[in-house]
Structure formats: structure tokens, C-alpha cells
Amino acid sequence: MKKVVLGFSGGVDSAVCSVLLKRAGYEVYGLYMDNSDENALNDAVKTAEYVGIPLEVADVRAELERNVCSPFTECYLRGETPNPCVICNPSVKFRTLCDAADRLGAEFVATGHYARSENGMIFKGRPSNDQTYMLCRLTREQAARVIFPLGMYEKVQTRAMAEEFGLPVAHKGDSMEICFIPDKDYISWLGRRTALPGPGDFIFHGEVVGQHDGIYRYTVGQRRPGMIDGRKVYISHIDVASNTIELALWEELFKTEVIARNFNWLCDVPDRPVRASVRVRHTKWENPPCTAYVDGGIVHIICDEPVRAPAAGQSAVLYDGDRLLGGGFIVQE
């Protein structure tokens, strides 16, 4: 019987995964990654007992602080908008799973992500809940070991299976917040960790039009309250050096070129321009065709159709059809 170590969060998705994996003939080991959420841990213990799988608890707080929380803080201070899940998956979640699998002699690891895996490649899940964007920085070694039991399902189907299986967490709500900021108040969280920059100027077409409350409160593409000359305006650029935020009209937010750094390829690095499609944020709908080429340490992505407000710190993620090719961090021009 093949062994698999399953990331077991105490939520509906991982609980359903445990039953599906058992029914597929795997010997399943649950691994709960502890970051001080006692309720989630209790749910994980209760569900593991119900399903009949062993559960191990791994304290990942130090790794989370070093690899996710500190970079998350630094990103905001650079005027960028981080996506902590993109960083956490390879550096904490999948690393911890693979380490446990090595120790237990398991060939595979599994998570409740809505994605598909085949022969070391990762493919999009169902359009309504595809989560491959969050997996763009996995290593090729991690991708080669992973199983995604929910890849062919939609969330509504997962919840129906949880009911059918009689799982104790069948009616538990989805977790939408950042796991290390459960109250969703990232401003207060940042303020407890570091000195935050003060107010500065809003600039619109070269003129000061008001004051902002701190660059860390804003992201490129976000609408600024109020109107200018009867028109809505949006954040288009954050300048840390001058502590200013530039505003633009909606039609001025669109870019045809996106530049990404620290690109992580889940295929061989191309030595010539490649045709692909790109996502510049975690959305299922904006996925225009593009041409991408490597230039030293960066990747240039030329979009066939302009993309709205690519934000520094977010990821530009490339696809070949449904196949995930990789992703890099967007650079502010």
C-alpha cells in the first residue's frame, strides 16, 4: 500500500481528501501544521479520529515567521502588495509535508488545493475554484510528489461529499483570512511589528490632490475614495522614496508589458520566447494570451491584451493551456 502524507488543516477540504485517498487505496498520514489556532487543531484531531488516520502535529511557527511573516512585512514597507500563500506553499507547507514524508517513508504528499497533478506537472482545477496561482513557486521536486484529490471537483461538490461521508466539519465555514492574521486587521498586525511610515501626498497628473494615511494601506489598482473632476481615480504607483502615491483614471491602469523577477519555472527554462497566458492576480477570469521571454534574472511578459493594474509584490503566473509553467514577482515600473 502506498503511503501519502496529507496536509490536514481541520477544514472541509482536507477532511474530504482523507476519505478520498483512503478509498483510493492509500495509507494516509495526516499532518497538522500548528500556528497557534487551537480551534482548528481540535477540529483536525476530531476529524482524524473519525476518519481513522494517524495525525501528527508540526510546529511551523518559526518557519512561518522566518519565511512568510517577515517577508510579508518587508513587502508592504517597499510599497508592494504581497501574497503570503504563494510564499508559504513552497517554503513552509510543502517543505514540511515532504520532510514528514521522507521520515515516514511515504512516496507522496497531498493537499486540498483545487488543482490537478500528472507526471510531475500541475494543471488548473475547475474554473470556478482553481488554485494553481497559489502553487506557482513550488519546486519541481515538490510538484513531482503531490496529489490533489479535489482537482476534478468544485467546492459545492466537496461540501456535498463531506455531508455524505458524515464528517464532523461538514458545516464548517471556509477560511478566507490570512492564517497568521485571523482578525483580518493587517494594519494593526504590521503596526505591532514595525514602525510604519506616516502620511504623504496623493499625486494626480503631476499635482498634489490630497494626503494618504500611509503607503502600506494601499495597493495598485485600488480605488481611492472620492472623485477628481467628477471621475473615479485609482492607485497607479507607490513611491517609497518620496512617500507619495500616484493616482490614475481607470483607462490609465492597463499595461501590455509585465516584468517579473525571481521567476520559478516548473518546466525547463525556455531559451527563446514562448507563447503562454498570464494571470497577474488570483482571479479566474483575467488570463490573456502573451509572449514571455527570459532576460537575465527577469522575465518580460508581453500581453496580447492589456492587463489591469499589475501590482508589485503580486505574482505573474504563466500557463500553457491548463498547465502551470511557473511564476515570478511583479516589478513596479
Q: Side by side, which strands form the sheet with 207-212?
A: 207-212, 200-204, 244-248, 231-239, 223-228
> Does 88 qualify as catalytic in the annotation?
yes
Do you know the residue count of the chain? 333
Q: Of the listed 17, 69, 75, 88, which one is catalytic?
A: 88
Residues 6 or more apart whose CB falls under 8 angstroms from that of 281 comprise: 133, 310, 311, 314
Residue 182 grid coordinates: 485571523
Q: Classify each residue of 109-135 as buried b or exposed e, where b means 16 or more C-beta atoms within 10 Å of its C-beta.
A: bbbbbbbbbeeebbbbbbeebbbbbbb
Residue 270 grid coordinates: 525556455
Phi-psi region of 221 (alpha: psi -120 to 50; beta: other; left: phi over 0): left
Residues known to be catalytic: 88, 179
